Amino acid sequence: MPEIKFPADGQTYIGWLSDPVGDAIDDVSAPDLSELAGIVDLSCHIQSGGLDLGVSTATIDAASICSAFVSMALGRTTVAPTLTGWRYQQPDDTFWELVDKGELGWLIIRTGVATDEPLADGDMVTVAYLEMSDPSPEFPGGDTLTTFAVSLVLVNGRLFDQKAVIGGGS
């Protein structure tokens, strides 16, 4: 049977769980639904194409002087997401109101399930404990909607998992 791909639009959930201490999720590879109770659903506040997880891996030069070829080894991985959100008329500007430089919390991303389906045990998610930057307003030209971008940085490499399963897969 062929593998079936899924579109990102309509099947991507993006949530933010504020957590100034970093202890809301006990096991980053298996968050419990009860730990996610205070999550804010940002899915409809993020522009289509406005989610960039920013995962990149550095390379290390491992070439010997005796070789005519460049040999490389994998280095450290950087996780630096950027979210581009819509601005809304007050008082319904949920994402804008949430963003504050230094804000700490968990970014939870689920793909392959309808966006409006609630998070459930067995869902595979990306989980990352991040710190937010100041929002960067974007002032577009005519016939466009106003957006802003926020950069995030990974606080601790042990608090990141791209293949976490809610409830541990139970």
What is the tens place of the pLDDT at every residue in 59-82? 999 999 999 999 999 999 999 999
pLDDT exceeds cutoff 90 at 57: yes
Q: Given pLDDT bands bounded at 50, 70 and 90, which one contains residue 169?
A: low
What value does the mean pLDDT take over residues 82-99? 90
d(CA 159, CA 129): 6
pLDDT exceeds cutoff 80 at 165: yes
* Residue 95 C-alpha from the chain's centroid: 14
Mean pLDDT of the chain: 93
What was the pLDDT predicted at 99?
96
Tell me the CA distances in angstroms from 6 to 2, 10, 111, 112, 165, one per residue in order. Answer: 13, 10, 9, 6, 19
Q: Given pLDDT bands bounded at 50, 70 and 90, which one contains residue 105?
A: very high
| Three-state DSSP class for residue 64 | coil
What was the pLDDT predicted at 109?
97
Helix (H) or strand (E) holding 157: none
What value does the mean pLDDT take over residues 19-48? 96
pLDDT exceeds cutoff 80 at 91: no
